[in-house]
Amino acid sequence: MVPPMMNTARLQGRRAIITGGARGIGGSIAAALAVEGARVCILDRLVEPGRRHAAELGGTFVDVDLADPAATRSATATAIDTLGGVDILVNSAGIFRLEALLDVSIESWDQMFDINTRAALLTMQAAATAMIAAGEGGRIINIASMAAKSGGAREGHYAASKAALVALTRSAALEWGEHGITANALCPGYILTEMGAATRTDEDIARWSAKSPLGRLGTPEDVAAVAVFLATRDASYVTGQAINVTGGMIMH
């Protein structure tokens, strides 16, 4: 007897907001969530790529400059209203810049934290408020970085902003767990995306690949697969973690 067909979409009907979802890691996460049945809303400042990707996924798009606190709050509220609520929030938007510590200006430091950390706080506040009001729990997934644990020469402000995001994630897990909300961070290693493309060389790629026991760099899909797991019921008892997706480059 042939068993009946089962719906394998683990996130059917779930509502997901993804910042930085126009391309790169965020774009892959948005696509992976949609494949699993989630309705997605992408928040990004890249208007044409964002609209196009959202349309391909049957989702919606909201244009936002995450460096602007008022715009971030407004865009998140619009996304929640458009979806009719929110079950999953993924903060994937971020910026990266190589600068020696002696050259880091106040403006550069503030910009790094405004986008990599403060914007996540604002979207988390809005999403958690909606999740708590709905009384059905939720999933918060913040994309940090291997740099949050390892630091990095000429990455001081970037590493600090990502370490702060990990700490923020743990606070959210502690405060909102009683409402059935889990909060976790992912710490990707060297992932080949548009971010950092202008500063890397073929020699860099070969050197970084050699640091992994697997002998390769990661892909956005590698990160997306872990994000999807965290969004499902399978990860209902996983919270407050900073999970490495580094191919073994970092093991703590």
Q: Which homologous superfamily does the CATH classification assign to the domain defined by 15-244?
A: NAD(P)-binding Rossmann-like Domain (3.40.50.720)
End-to-end CA distance of the chain: 48
Overall residue count recorded for the chain in this entry = 252
CA 28 to chain centre: 10
pLDDT exceeds cutoff 60 at 6: no
pLDDT exceeds cutoff 70 at 5: no
* 170-210 per-position pLDDT tens digit: 999 999 999 999 999 999 999 988 776 777 899 999 999 99
Q: Is 126 buried (19+), middle (13-18) or exposed (0-12) by CB count in 10 A?
A: buried
* 62-94 per-position pLDDT tens digit: 999 999 999 999 999 999 999 999 999 999 999
Domain positions in the chain are 15-244
Q: What average pLDDT does the structure give for the chain?
A: 95
| Model pTM score | 0.95
Residues catalogued as catalytic: 158
Radius of gyration in angstroms for the set of CA atoms belonging to the chain, rounded to a whole number: 18
Q: What integer pLDDT is reported at residue 1 of this predicted model?
A: 38
Dig out the tokens for 104 from the structure. Answer: 């880091």
Q: What is the pLDDT confidence band of residue 55, given thresholds at 50, 70 and 90?
A: very high
